[in-house]
Amino acid sequence: MPVPVVFHSATLLHNPGPGHPERPERIEAVLAALRAPDLTATIEWVEARPAARDQLERVHSPAYLDTLERLARGGGGALDADTVMSRDSWNAAAMAAGVAIGAVERGIERGSGFGATRPPGHHALAGRAMGFCLINNVVVAARHGQQLGKPRVLIVDWDVHHGNGTQALVERDPSIRYVSMHQYPWYPGTGAADERGVGNVFNVPRPPGLAREVYVRDLLAAVDAALEGWPPDLLLVSAGFDSLAGDPLGGFTLTPEDVAHWTSALRARVAPAPVVGVLEGGYRLDLLAAGARAHVGALA
């Protein structure tokens, strides 16, 4: 059965400025890779709708959302040293959250799905943007999945950076479990192994440069710990491809084949629960494209 890939051209419109790593070409590279002729029978393309305000407010404060919308309406500006809005960034962010929501909806129907989200989201807090992230797409998706009758949600994050925003948003909620493997110490400085939330957080901090087999093994071991006695109704992957060897913002040694292996292993572990990927980081375009292709191929 084809994998639904949810997208929207509005995600191209967010423009943090010349030289910024989180550039529009990222989503172009992902979509081009997934439109390769040999994947035609593997993918069903689905155009997203923007997230509704109430869907965003399940995760973010109204005052924060007002600030983002107002800043974009005024032409944009910097939210912190790394995170910059342009005139169209609010529309892009609302659409990215809508992409994640659409991926969950289709994933529940079909068993798997992928959301080509941009800007990324896993650093965004309830009331603060950071780390290139405006809206926490994966937590918006998790809350939407719960609204659709999937009360227990597992989020697995293999982006090379710790998803501090995701952890902060779910760490007091036992209905969501969060597994993250990330380079440590590294931006944003969170994600120590002893950060456990209410027993629902499973961090796997690792140094750069280890053998790829170590990263592969250790993430799956943490997933197994999270699943013990707790079968999820929905699995969301914060799919950051900056964990691949050669990405300029990380030091892990993984390959696209490892991404495919992880994806297949996760599907087997949580079956029959749906598995839905949500794009996070990845800043070398060829690696980003190859990682997305491997992930979606394994979802099929």
Q: Which two tokens stand for residue 278?
A: 């949500």
Report pLDDT digits (tens) over 196-242: 999 999 999 999 999 999 999 999 999 999 999 999 999 999 999 99
Decide: 192 and 203 in contact? Cβ < 8 Å: yes
- Return the structure tokens found at 152: 């227990």
For residue range 175-189, what is the model confidence (pLDDT) as tens digits? 999 999 999 999 999
pLDDT band at 91 (very low <50, low <70, confident <90, very high): very high
Nearest to 120 by CA among 299, 297, 288, 280: 280
Mean pLDDT value of segment 261-275: 98
The number of CA neighbours under 13 Å toward the Cβ of 95 is 19
> In percent, how much of the chain has pLDDT > 90?
100
Q: What is the 3-state secondary structure (H, E, C) of the chain?
A: CCEEEEECHHHHCCCCCCCCCCCCHHHHHHHHHHCCHHHCCCEEEEECCCCCHHHHHCCCCHHHHHHHHHHHHCCEEECCCCCEEECCHHHHHHHHHHHHHHHHHHHHHHCEEEECCCCCCCCCECCECECCECCCHHHHHHHHHHHCCCCCEEEEECCCCCCHHHHHHHCCCCCEEEEEEEECCCCCCCCCCCCCCCCCEEEEEECCCCCHHHHHHHHHHHHHHHHCCCCCCEEEEEECHHHECCCCCCCCCECHHHHHHHHHHHHHHHCCCCEEEEECCCCCHHHHHHHHHHHHHHHC
123 catalytic per annotation: yes
Tell me the pLDDT band of 106, cut-offs 50, 70 and 90: very high
How far, in Å, CA of 236 to CA of 117, rounded? 13
* Residues paired with 78 in a beta bridge: 84
Residue 96 has pLDDT above 90, yes or no: yes
Mean pLDDT on 106-133: 98
Rounded to whole angstroms, the Cα distance separating 139 from 121 reads: 9
> Considering the chain, what percentage of its residues have pLDDT values greater than 70?
100
Is residue 177 a contact partner of residue 232, using CB atoms and an 8 Å limit? Answer: yes
- Structural domain boundaries, residue 74: 3-299
Average pLDDT over residues 267-279: 98
Q: How confident is the model at residue 1 (pLDDT cuts 50, 70, 90)?
A: confident
Task: Judge if pTM exceeds 0.95.
Answer: yes
Of 219, 291, 217, 223, nearest in space to 260 by CA: 291
| CATH code for the domain in which residue 42 is found | 3.40.800.20
Predicted pLDDT at 152: 98
The mean pLDDT value of the chain amounts to 98
Q: Give the Å distances, CA to CA, from 143 to 106, 149, 154, 262.
A: 15, 10, 12, 24
Q: Which residues contact residue 28 at a Cβ distance below 8 angstroms, ignoring those fewer than 6 apart?
A: 12
Q: How many domains does the chain have?
A: 1
pLDDT band at 266 (very low <50, low <70, confident <90, very high): very high
- Give the Cβ contact number of residue 175 at 10 Å: 14
Residue 118 and residue 114: Cα distance in Å, rounded? 13
Active-site residue identified among 14, 60, 122, 123:
123
Selection from 69, 64, 66, 114 nearest residue 91 by Cα:
69
- Measured CA distances, 274 to 119, 133, 267 (Å): 24, 25, 8
CA dist 73 and 218 (Å) reads 44
